[in-house]
Amino acid sequence: MTAEPATKTEPSKADTATAPAEKKQKVFTGTAGQLQTRMEELFQASRLVNSPTASEKSEARAKIDKAVDWEQIAQTCLGSSNWKKQSASNRNAFRGLLKDVVERTAFSRMDKFWKNATSTIDKIDVTGNAAHILAHFQSTGEKSKMKLEYYFHKKGGEWLMDDVAYNGLRYSININEQLDSFLREKSFAELLKSLRKRRDELVTDAKSDAR
């Protein structure tokens, strides 16, 4: 804690005129309000995925994992045609490796992403069992904002995330295009081998960073 100054100087009119106005977080109601609460909980969890406290780190990662529909993401990324061609064993292997690679990549960047950053949920659209959430993020001292969009669907009475978009580009579409190109030239076994290699690289990088 710091000591309270004996006197306070009121900001001049010039100061208040040039200072950026802090945007107040909009409060949503109904289903949109439930999704707003869920997103804010996930934002908070994402700040803690690399916590030095093991229990806090584990709880944060588990909360995020539970909120994501990896089955749907795996199908979308691989594409309906390629998904149907694979055995249950291959599908499970692909889903597990994709999840591991995506999570490890994302978690490794969370500290930098959230450093001195604030988030604002600007829009929540709910259509039946689908929802689209628009959020902006801004770091202290930065004028520009980063826009991320989150896509949810309702499954078994629970809202689960199945996609994210950056600057309008949905990750599932981007990954699907890359995998389609890969599988036109190579086998599914080679795809799994490539994902295992990337997973192992991320594991090695994490161990190096921890030293």
For residue 145, the model assigns a pLDDT of 85
What domains can you pick out in the chain, each with its CATH number? 69-210 (3.10.450.710)
- Summarised one tens digit per residue, pLDDT across range 171-192 is 999 999 999 999 999 999 999 9
Whether pTM exceeds 0.75: yes
- Summarised one tens digit per residue, pLDDT across range 107-117 is 998 988 898 88
Q: Are 54 and 122 in contact (CB under 8 A)?
A: no
Instruction: Give yes or no for residue 11 having a pLDDT over 70.
Output: no
For residue 1, the model assigns a pLDDT of 34
Ramachandran area for residue 157 (φ above 0: left; ψ -120 to 50: alpha; else beta)? left
Residue 210 confidence class, pLDDT cut points 50, 70, 90: low
Instruction: Give yes or no for residue 34 having a pLDDT over 90.
Output: yes
Instruction: Give yes or no for residue 142 having a pLDDT over 80.
Output: no
More confident residue, 18 or 121: 121
- 8-12, 51-55, 61-65: the lowest-pLDDT one: 8-12
DSSP class of residue 5?
A: P
When the pLDDT of each residue in the chain is averaged and rounded to a whole number, the result is 88
Q: Are 98 and 184 in contact (CB under 8 A)?
A: no
Ramachandran area for residue 156 (φ above 0: left; ψ -120 to 50: alpha; else beta)? left
Q: What is the C-alpha to C-alpha distance for residues 188 and 194, in angstroms, rounded to an integer?
A: 10
Instruction: Give yes or no for residue 20 having a pLDDT over 70.
Output: no
For residue 207, the model assigns a pLDDT of 77
